[in-house]
Structure 1
Amino acid sequence: MNSFGSRRVVITGLGVVTSLGHDVHRVFDALCRGESGIRPIRRFDVTRCPSKIGGIIEDFNAEAVIDDRAGRRILRMADWIQAMGLCATHLAWEDAGLRSGSVLPDRLGVYFGSGRGGADVAETLFGLLLQAADRWRGGSFIPPEEARRGATVSVFDVFHGVNPTRYLQQCPSFVAAYAAIRYHARGPTLTNVNLCSAGAQAIGEAAWVIARDDADVMIAGGSDSMLNPAELAAFCALDAVSASNDDGPAASRPFDLRRNGCVIGEGAAAVILEELGHARQRSARIYAELLGYGATNDAYKVTAPPPDGSGAVLAMRRALRHADLSPEDVDHINAHGTSTPLNDKVETGAIKTVFGQHAYGIPVVSTKSMTGHLIAAAGALEAAIAVKCLDEKRIPPTRNLEVPDPHCDLDYVAEGQRQVPNLRVVLSNSFAVGGSNACLVFGHGLNGR
């Protein structure tokens, strides 16, 4: 029996918002065909930015997804990150066949990952400060007679009259808060801000809420966008992103010898976690079971993993132990696979440490080669992809892997999608800036389960 005990946790709904679309089944088909959602950034001026491409979402209308009056009222208060998250939760809720009254409010909770609040809002407020500074320098912000009396500009003067909703849009916790309001979820609510592992950790921690009998259903996932001038500039300053702009969709090339940085993406993903008995009672479709979850920290550097991958090793081993599985039971790994020179090498080494010789027989895939890196939403999206792999018994390829790296010598499914009729256990890895690691183990069709 896995560590969730007698209250087994299953996935009954999936919802995604990505640069490849927002229908989870069509997105999975696109990934299996090797299609890329990476394209030139046109939302803002990137003339002076080293990175000019991203997994950017174009022509997405949140109100076309959430078309009810109450949902649209919430959308009007939401920023872009919150709107994507709300759409993903809506799609997962609908996919699970849940309706008002399907779950007691006290038995429904929301755990969500978000790297930060609305960066676009923060930039708007920062712009107000810059405008105020210009006006101050020009002598027009404070009347001359007040200036002669020693008056100075104050942040309260600058932001006076700004709609208070704009401030709320900066709060990373408001994806979960708005989802709780929309679905009358009065159970536990939590926001995880551990960047690249936030979405995966939200799912893993939400499962424990069900296991300890504090909820029957949890909405869990992640939503994020770093595709704005300030944060894209920050990633460029960290030398973490690819500047191979002319390569376009080929710039994200995990495990390839020529990889030179990740490509930033944006989006959201949500899953409906449900106690098995509750799901069966309402005759819900069950995609898979969440068998194990492992979380650790590298305690090394905030911008690099330890060379031996010890934090990732411990997280994978812990997830397998919680699932009561051996390394040989794993049939597929959805890798973190960021396309950075160091991370892909370290993750490959960590996988070999955990799985030994069996590592060479496991298909290891990085779907970031097609979606880009969704940061706090990455782990949630990749969890949904892992579940779809189990559901359809096929796995997508790692795109753009053409020049093998001798340090990355596993089976990365570079040739195209692969049918795996006996696929039963999938491991999904998420390793974050800051050293936070999260691994999820999903299973389907296991004997005695």
Structure 2
Amino acid sequence: MTRDVAITGIGVVAPGGVGREPYWEMLTAGRTATRRITFYDPEPFRSQIAAEVDFDARASGLTDRQVRRMDRAAQFAVVATREAVSDSGVDLAAGDPARVGVSIGSAVGCTIGLETEYVVLSDNGREWLVDHRYAVPQLYGYMVPSTLAVEVAWEAGAEGPTVLLSNGCTSGMDAIGHGAALIQDGSADIVIAGATDAPISPISSAAFDAIKATTPNNANPRTASRPFDRDRDGFVLGEGSAVLVLEDLAAARARGAHVYALISGFAARSNAFHMTGLKPDGREMAEAITRAMRQARVNPDDICYINAHGSGTKQNDRHETAAFKRSLGQRAYGVPVSSIKSMIGHSLGAIGALELAACALVVDRGVVPPTANLHTPDPECDLDYVPLTAREHAADTVLSVASGFGGFQSAAVLARA
């Protein structure tokens, strides 16, 4: 018999809020965390703004050795894991470590560590053949994205299935979907699942500048991320991590755990169409939504809230609006929809996990975060996008979607236990 998967712990490292409660307070206040980049001089770049995390690794409990060893993305993941495990109340040391799994997503791995080391080894880009003698011992770990999952497994003492999923911008949702499947099929009793990315670096700025995906609205950093708004002009790069503790519902209830929500459905599709382009009809995302609802055994009328991918690019916003109409029919016009990327930017592979963390809190607390900066709706995006202000709204069943370069389309359904 398939087991129900409960979310019993949430840990967050996000722009504008390190920790689950500061994160939720920021989202429900409709406050944005986007600003001019401070990590490096952004002046040479077309897009000079980002959603940075105000993160002090040592103040967050990491040792000097951990800070030296781990890339920023790994530091985020370990700090989020600690909060999630503590929040869940589960005693991992008391159980069988072979029954504890890890499923972590990341789109770009250890970007900051790799770029920093390349600059040193190449003598600021002057040498075509880099000198390996200047490399730090951790360089190999930076080159292998699975390092991120390994760090989480070490932190949790997990000896069960451990995986790093890298599916671009759907990585976070896909990693949590995979973690839920490990519990459903009996491969693990507890899974530490989530995602992390720290991509705010010169190479990322240059790459997104080249395809004009990020916003050039540098004069107004706080209002530059404007999903579904007529005047939007690209996404704002972000960073962060969210980690969830997933476990069998029966076991969670037996130990008296607080259950935020159930992961009751997950599905993924690919459009096999274009590396960055999307078909306007939203068919593949709609298929993922329909399949996730079927797995969750819910109908369109059961959906109480939709967490949109809502990146703030015109083709994405119109694509998923079409997907909601295609999969939910008339119900699409009656359900509130919002994009938290309007507040915390787009942290690539991490964002799906950050969004599912928010969705679990929506189910638990009955408040829908707003879409910030939505002043002039795009006429082609004609759904209820909860502009500017959070809304009290009972949400027993929540849909979240993710879309990524390469044609990845994912959907998850969360429900009240």
Do they fold alike, i.e. is TM over 0.5? yes
**Which of the residues 102, 107, 112 maps onto 1:110?**
102
Aligned to 1:300: 273
Counterpart Cα distance in 1 of 2:273 and 2:94: 45
> 8 Å contact 2:30–2:388 — kept in the other structure?
no
Counterpart Cα distance in 1 of 2:58 and 2:83: 13
Return the letter of the residue paired with 1:12.
Answer: T
Counterpart Cα distance in 1 of 2:125 and 2:384: 56
Aligned to 1:37: 33
**Which of the residues 95, 100, 119 maps onto 2:87?**
95
Deviations 1:315-354 (A, max 9, x none): 1011001101111110000000000011001110110111
Counterpart Cα distance in 2 of 1:154 and 1:134: 9
- The answer for unaligned runs of 5 or more in structure 1 is 136-152
Aligned to 1:393: 366
Deviations 1:100-126 (A, max 9, x none): 424310100100001123222222332
The SS at the match of 2:18 is coil
Pairwise CA distance, 1:99: 2.7
Deviations 1:390-441 (A, max 9, x none): 1110111101111121100000011411111x32000111111111111110
Aligned to 2:406: 434
> 8 Å contact 2:212–2:234 — kept in the other structure?
yes
The SS at the match of 2:273 is coil
The SS at the match of 2:31 is coil
Counterpart Cα distance in 1 of 2:374 and 2:110: 34
Deviations 1:242-273 (A, max 9, x none): 00011211100000010110000000001111
The SS at the match of 2:76 is helix
Aligned to 1:280: 253
Return the letter of the residue paired with 2:211.
Answer: L
Map 1:143-292; keep pairs closer than 5 Å.
155=130, 158-292=131-265
Pairwise CA distance, 1:97: 1.1
Counterpart Cα distance in 1 of 2:392 and 2:286: 28
The SS at the match of 2:220 is helix
Counterpart Cα distance in 1 of 2:228 and 2:124: 47
Aligned to 2:303: 330
Pairwise CA distance, 1:64: 2.2
Counterpart Cα distance in 1 of 2:262 and 2:396: 10
Counterpart Cα distance in 2 of 1:29 and 1:103: 34
Q: Does 1:124 align with 2:96?
A: no
Aligned to 2:51: 55
Return the letter of the residue paired with 1:78.
Answer: M
Counterpart Cα distance in 2 of 1:290 and 1:359: 21
**Which of the residues 13, 34, 46 maps onto 2:9?**
13
Return the letter of the residue paired with 1:316.
Answer: I
Deviations 1:207-257 (A, max 9, x none): 111111110000011100221000111011111000001121110000001
> 8 Å contact 2:283–2:326 — kept in the other structure?
no
Pairwise CA distance, 1:73: 4.4
Return the letter of the residue paired with 1:353.
Answer: R
Map 1:343-362; keep pairs closer than 5 Å.
343-362=316-335
> 8 Å contact 1:116–1:170 — kept in the other structure?
no
> 8 Å contact 1:103–1:217 — kept in the other structure?
no
Aligned length: 417
Distance 1:261 1:283, change over 3 A: same
- The answer for unaligned runs of 5 or more in structure 2 is none
Higher Rg: 1
> 8 Å contact 1:74–1:178 — kept in the other structure?
no
Map 1:406-417; keep pairs closer than 5 Å.
406-417=379-390
Return the letter of the residue paired with 2:244.
Answer: V
> 8 Å contact 2:305–2:398 — kept in the other structure?
yes
Return the letter of the residue paired with 1:356.
Answer: G
Counterpart Cα distance in 2 of 1:12 and 1:124: 37
Return the letter of the residue paired with 1:309.
Answer: G
Pairwise CA distance, 1:61: 1.4
> 8 Å contact 2:121–2:135 — kept in the other structure?
no
Q: Aligned-residue CA RMSD in angstroms?
A: 1.6
> 8 Å contact 1:335–1:365 — kept in the other structure?
yes
**Which of the residues 18, 32, 39 maps onto 1:22?**
18
Q: Percent identity?
A: 38
> 8 Å contact 2:200–2:238 — kept in the other structure?
yes
> 8 Å contact 2:103–2:193 — kept in the other structure?
yes
> 8 Å contact 2:2–2:185 — kept in the other structure?
no
Map 1:79-90; keep pairs closer than 5 Å.
79-90=71-82
Pairwise CA distance, 1:63: 2.5
**Which of the residues 311, 314, 334 maps onto 1:341?**
314
**Structure 1 stretches of at least 4 aligned residues deviating more than 6 Å after TM superposition:** none
- TM-score, normalising length: structure 1: 0.90
Return the letter of the residue paired with 1:94.
Answer: S
Return the letter of the residue paired with 2:303.
Answer: V
Pairwise CA distance, 1:167: 2.5
- TM-score, normalising length: structure 2: 0.96
Pairwise CA distance, 1:308: 1.2
> 8 Å contact 2:108–2:199 — kept in the other structure?
no
Counterpart Cα distance in 2 of 1:365 and 1:382: 11
Distance 1:40 1:209, change over 3 A: same
Return the letter of the residue paired with 2:380.
Answer: H
Aligned to 1:321: 294
Counterpart Cα distance in 2 of 1:65 and 1:226: 20
